[in-house]
């Protein structure tokens, strides 16, 4: 018989679900210690957590990889993260020369280049074309129904795609090879005015991603267009954009005001330095879909009526915050935390708790919260999206 109740074994740094106040108990049963180490605030929630809030986290590492010659893809949609109804994400890698074939979607496609370089092409409904090279920190946006392609350049590339529908799947798109494969050859011949024999070797199914050679210089790939190019650029250099700088980090906001074509997706690229925190705030326009690029973080989400839950995040994770829920994102590591806040909206909007309090009559705030001058004198009328604090994050 196991006599653990008489003498508990020592497990070194293995975490146990026991809070500093003594709440909880040891866990000697089957468990995934590595998961517990990655999620300290889920194993030992802060005493302020309460109520039932659904899961607001899913890792791309837990998704299925679609492997092809030329690259891979994986996705987080409402099927993996049921709460995420407004947006879906696809993480994709293309080899040098690897091609995401000519295709289009029912949904708008917003993209962030994580690394490397790629060439994108598109043609709009008025026959105006767009061919451009994109690199790390660049964005693109294709409205619904606009046909396009993506190809890795000399170093290949990796990027995040975001679609304005949580039910989206990248494996359910309109691909040119798929359409050809499912159209009678006599119809193809009639459409293009050439013999059926010209279609003898077309693919028999969707190619999706395939390997090709690295394309030549951009100028050599330009296609003269009698209708001109698209009036609004499909790309935006987000990293080249001047950031909002605060003591705790930086923020770059992009929406239809500075990226006019992006009418259904708005975003912020946030850097939180060690000892910093994305301030307590909420968004008054839509749910927030997050993608963590580097570092580690914790986020507590407040859902009203005594409900709050804390989650831990790291690079490659997707986070989600339902509309109007209060939250913060705290850097829990020793390197800068970088993440994207993304919204199904034409405009980025947030409400700062600090600023709200600072612009409200002082006596009203003091009576509401039973606080005094120490807090009131610290309030700021100017919004600081990222703040720097003293002390280290508390995990219990």
Q: Could you report the per-residue pLDDT of 144-179, keeping only the tens digit for each?
A: 999 999 999 999 999 999 999 999 999 889 999 999
Q: What is the mean pLDDT of residues 110-138?
A: 98
pLDDT for the residue 390: 67
Average per-residue pLDDT in the chain? Answer: 95
> Which of 13-22, 211-220, 317-326 has the least mean pLDDT?
13-22
Is the pLDDT reported for residue 391 higher than 70?
no
For the chain, percent of residues with pLDDT exceeding 70: 95
Residue 236 counted as an annotated binding residue: no
> How far is Cα 149 from Cα 100, in angstroms, rounded to an integer?
6
Catalytic residue, chosen from 75, 101, 279, 341, is 341
Q: CA quadruple 272, 304, 311, 62: dihedral positive or negative? A: negative
Q: What is the mean pLDDT of residues 196-217?
A: 97
Residue among 109, 50, 40 at smallest CA distance from 75: 109
Residue 179's contacts (CB-CB under 8 Å, 6 or more residues apart) are none
Residue 103 counted as an annotated binding residue: yes
Q: What is the mean pLDDT of residues 275-297?
A: 98
Concatenated DSSP letters of 198-250: GGTT--SS---EE--PPP--HHHH----TT-B-SS-SEEESTTSPPEEETTEE
pLDDT for the residue 389: 83
Spacing of C-alpha 108 from chain mean position = 15
CA end-to-end distance (rounded Å), the chain: 33
> How far is Cα 294 from Cα 208, in angstroms, rounded to an integer?
29
Residue 281 counted as an annotated binding residue: yes
Phi and psi at 366, nearest 5°, equal -60, -45
Angle 142-143-146 from CA coordinates, rounded to 5°: 75
Is the pLDDT reported for residue 394 higher than 70?
no
Count the alpha carbons within 13 Å of 95 in the hemisphere toward its beta carbon.
Answer: 12
Residue 217's contacts (CB-CB under 8 Å, 6 or more residues apart) are none
Residue 201's contacts (CB-CB under 8 Å, 6 or more residues apart) are none
> How far is Cα 261 from Cα 346, in angstroms, rounded to an integer?
10
> How far is Cα 287 from Cα 120, in angstroms, rounded to an integer?
29
Residue among 165, 348, 138 at smallest CA distance from 255: 348
**Do residues 114 and 155 make contact, with C-beta atoms less than 8 angstroms apart?**
no
pLDDT for the residue 13: 79
Q: What is the mean pLDDT of residues 360-369?
A: 98
Residue 288 counted as an annotated binding residue: yes
Confirm whether 75 is a catalytic residue: no
Q: Could you report the per-residue pLDDT of 244-282, keeping only the tens digit for each?
A: 999 999 999 999 999 999 999 999 999 999 999 999 999
> Which of 24-38, 135-149, 177-191, 231-245 has the least mean pLDDT?
24-38
> How far is Cα 209 from Cα 160, in angstroms, rounded to an integer?
16
- Domains by residue range for the chain, with CATH: 63-173+208-236 (2.60.120.10), 241-388 (2.60.120.10)
Residue 182 counted as an annotated binding residue: no
**Do residues 19 and 42 make contact, with C-beta atoms less than 8 angstroms apart?**
no
Q: CA quadruple 46, 350, 141, 294: dihedral positive or negative? A: negative
Q: Could you report the per-residue pLDDT of 378-389, keeping only the tens digit for each?
A: 999 999 999 998
Quick one: DSSP state of residue 54? -
């Amino acid at each position: 018989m196991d006599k653990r109740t008489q003498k508990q074994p020592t497990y070194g740094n293995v975490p146990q679900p026991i809070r500093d106040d003594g709440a909880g108990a040891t866990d000697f049963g089957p468990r995934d210690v590595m998961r517990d180490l990655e999620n300290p605030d889920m194993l030992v929630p802060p005493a302020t957590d309460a109520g039932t809030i659904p899961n607001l986290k899913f890792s791309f590492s837990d998704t299925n990889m679609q492997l092809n010659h030329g690259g891979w893809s994986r996705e987080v949609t409402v099927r993996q993260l049921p709460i995420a109804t407004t947006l879906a994400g696809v993480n994709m890698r293309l080899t040098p020369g690897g091609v995401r074939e000519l295709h289009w979607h029912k949904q708008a496609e917003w993209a962030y280049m994580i690394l490397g370089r790629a060439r994108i092409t598109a043609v709009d409904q008025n026959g105006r074309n767009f061919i451009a090279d994109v690199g790390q920190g660049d964005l693109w946006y294709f409205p619904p129904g606009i046909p396009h392609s993506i190809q890795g350049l000399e170093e290949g590339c990796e990027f995040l795609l975001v679609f304005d529908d949580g039910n989206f799947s990248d494996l359910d798109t309109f691909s040119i090879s798929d359409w050809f494969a499912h159209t009678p050859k006599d119809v193809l011949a009639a459409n293009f005015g050439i013999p059926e024999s010209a279609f003898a070797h077309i693919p028999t199914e969707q190619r999706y991603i395939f390997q090709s050679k690295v394309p030549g210089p951009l100028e050599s790939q330009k296609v003269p267009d009698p209708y001109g190019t698209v009036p609004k650029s499909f790309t935006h250099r987000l990293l080249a954009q001047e950031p909002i700088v605060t003591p705790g980090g930086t923020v770059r906001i992009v929406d239809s005001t500075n990226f006019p074509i992006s009418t259904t997706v708005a975003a912020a690229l946030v850097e939180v330095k060690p000892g910093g925190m994305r301030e307590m705030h909420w968004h008054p326009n839509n749910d927030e879909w997050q993608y963590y690029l580097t570092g580690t973080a914790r986020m507590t989400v407040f859902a009203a009526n005594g409900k709050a839950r804390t989650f831990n995040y790291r690079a490659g994770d997707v986070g989600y915050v339902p509309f109007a829920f209060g939250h913060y994102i705290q850097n829990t590591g020793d390197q800068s935390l970088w993440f994207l806040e993304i919204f199904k909206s034409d405009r980025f909007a947030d409400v700062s708790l600090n600023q709200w309090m600072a612009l409200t009559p002082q006596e009203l705030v003091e009576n509401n919260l039973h606080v005094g001058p120490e807090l009131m004198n610290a309030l700021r009328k100017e919004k600081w999206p990222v703040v720097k604090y003293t002390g280290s994050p508390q995990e219990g």
